[in-house]
Amino acid sequence: MHPSIEHLRTDTTSVVVDVSAGIPVILHWGAPLNEVPLRWQGGLRTYGTMDVVAPISLVPMHGDGFAGRPGLQVHRRGGRHWSPRFRAENHSVSRVAGGVVLESHAIDEVSESEITGRLHLADDGVLTASADFRNNSDSPVMLNSFTVTLPIAGQATELGVFAGRWSRELQLQRFEWPYGAWTSENRVGRTSHEHPPYLFAMESTAGEWCGQVWGIHAAWSGNHSMYAEWMPDGRRYVQAGELFHPGEMCVYSGETLSAVDVIGVYSDSGLTAVSRAFHREGRRRLPANAHRVRPVHLNTWEAVYFAHDEERLRRLAEVAAAVGVERFVLDDGWFGGRRNDHTGLGDWTVSSAVYPHGLAPLIAHVRELGMEFGIWVEPEMANPDSDLLRAHPEWAATTDGYEPVMGRRQHVVDLTNPAAFEHVLSALDALLTGHDISYVKWDMNRWHVQASGGDGTAITHAQTMALYAMLDELRRRHRDVEFESCASGGGRIDHEILRRSERVWTSDCNDALERQLIQRGASMIIPAEVMGSHVGPSRSHTTGRRLSMALRGVTAMFGHMGIEADVTAMSEDELADLSHVVAVHKRFRVLIHSGDVARFETFELTGGSALSHGVIATDRSEALVAYVQLTTAQAPVPPTWRILGLDAERDYTVNMVPLTRAAVPVPGTAVDQPAWLADSLAGRPQRLSGAFLRDVGLVPPVMWPESAVLVHLSGS
């Protein structure tokens, strides 16, 4: 192998890197290689082009002749040094715990700047790519963009990305990779509902369990750009990273700016394998508290909204404890003058009007019932009608001379202002110090629009860093307190916020039918134990649809389970069924929260009328899988339900798990039940091999729309 080429390798992935140019050039990222030739065949020159074929480096440069989008776009005052060129200085490859790191250092004497490229390949094949830019000159450098670029093999002819909106997050869109460039840009100041920074490049034949797939994620909680180009010379690449507003990013003399981590995952076994790798990386990043048993929640929002009343909340807690809830979370409306969403946001002191004796009596009652106590905050925002902004209007992140564009009657609080940061931090610290609170639901409900600091420059980058700093400091002071990332539901789900959150709120929509697809998308990127999933009321407050407890329960089963409904208004029968599904979740939650996700091809085979998913123990000893009938199908009898991913040599006992108190047949129109289901109901469950379940599978029951069946497969 040539001395300038390094080969990073695991059992599943090879990354071959040329370091001769200083900025790493990935020659191959994909299937594991047993050999690397002495001379790697690169791009070929053709007539009508330059005398060199500029490589697709980790940070490709226009000055090197790269015809695509540069990874670094900079300039100094007057437009000078707008197209730097770097040369190799040194590089190293070192073994670290759980993987190997290649670091390559490049310098440009003309622009007096440096770039350090870094590739970390974990032993399980997850690639994390990052880069640092350092300004060594006496004058500042303005950065228009600084992103990380990964080459993609030519056989990846399709792209998969998430689209969405509030209450309909993470809808996978799959399409042919167009000639030229596809781009997605986010400027709302959070990861976003609309364009979350995840992308899948894949073969056209790839599915959940087959085909080559490359997954790419920009791990950042602010503005970002995702860019995929099929170049005129046939090469393909994906570029991912932070998006800067004009003039937002200036690197002063002696300063270093780090590009955001870009996480890359390769698999030759389809999308499910890529999802599992994203989950492993997410679990590595999680705070230590996230690895304990995840308690079942009750969140008060859809039970009381702003109508806080201590006696009503006490009763809500009592019923919640009786059905098996382990954590009681008090949502919006407990503080200041916050009786609606017009006033009080930003005043993080307990409302004496609603709680004349403070929160201590309610917290004590919750704790006596055996539950933890959690609370909702939205520290990054404030109403104009608040004590905070009346006292400090300059803390609103607005732009002088313009009437602010409002969102939810809120302003962004400028946490880049040291005084504002310290005020909010002190208020939250006092809240947690003065109360027995073990959990904080941290919300963020407003976009950044023309959000400027005191000097008039855009603040989204600095605000995101301030958010991280505040969460880190609160965790340092309150090590046992857990945090949930919420942003109008799933607007801030990324692998960088996972470093600071034990849980994310997947969606404000608790309609179980909508949640099936929302959570299917979420299962592609985050592990089940951080995916907040609640049993909502019988009538959804976002869709108006009425759904059975069985469907609501099985939907909430496969995440971090909770309840968001007025349990005091439920009938005895509904409460008994709710208690049943909570007990089923507790029975299987260690499996759900530690196993490997599995998604099956039923959605595609049934034209979107049914889907199936589940979790398989990492040792393949058991599995819990669900089959959900979403709508009516063209054919009354569904296709065979093949369950992949089990141990082919092992036999499994096939048992239906009742979703109501009585083990009754699932609701449907068939005269007969499938043999495996009839035998399970009769108490003589069938035993089938993993090979049979993979190659033949189970016949699903014929069910009414909005129905589901849950199956436990127990291996011998």
254 residue type, one letter: G
- Render 627-676 in DSSP notation, one character per residue: EEE-S--SSSSPPPB---SS-TTSEEEEEEEPSSSS-PPPS---SS--HH
Query: Does the annotation count 672 as an active-site position?
Result: no
In whole angstroms, give the CA distance from residue 618 to residue 621.
8
- DSSP reduced 3-state for 412: strand
Residue 638 token pair? 């569904």
Query: Does the annotation count 443 as an active-site position?
Result: yes
- DSSP reduced 3-state for 255: coil
Closest-CA residue to 645 (of 687, 613, 678)? 613
Residue 600 token pair? 């099956």
- Render 511-547 in DSSP notation, one character per residue: -HHHHHHHHHHHTTTS-GGGEEEEE--SB-TTT--B-
Query: What sign does the dihedral 314-320-520-222 (CA atoms) show?
Result: positive
H-helix or E-strand spanning residue 356: none
How far from 81 is each of 85, 139, 140, 167, 264, CA to CA, in Å?
10, 11, 11, 46, 31
Residue 266 token pair? 């390769």
Q: Catalytic residue among 508, 577, 596, 647, which?
A: 508
H-helix or E-strand spanning residue 623: strand 622-629
Q: Residue 671 contacts by C-beta under 8 Å, 6 or more apart in sequence?
A: none
| Residue 192 near residue 490 (C-beta atoms within 8 A) | no
How far from 78 is each of 62, 139, 273, 307, 455, CA to CA, in Å?
19, 12, 49, 58, 21
Q: Catalytic residue among 261, 347, 443, 494, which?
A: 443
Beta partners for residue 134, in sequence order: 114, 256
Residue 512 token pair? 């179980």
How many residues make up the chain in this entry? 716
Closest-CA residue to 194 (of 631, 557, 461, 489)? 489
Residue 253 token pair? 């003399």
End-to-end Cα separation, the chain, in angstroms: 48
In whole angstroms, give the CA distance from residue 671 to residue 3.
71
The maximal CA–CA distance of the chain, rounded, in angstroms, is 82
| Residue 523 near residue 531 (C-beta atoms within 8 A) | yes
Residue 289 backbone zone (phi > 0: left; psi -120 to 50: alpha; other: beta):
alpha
Please give the positions annotated as active site.
443, 508
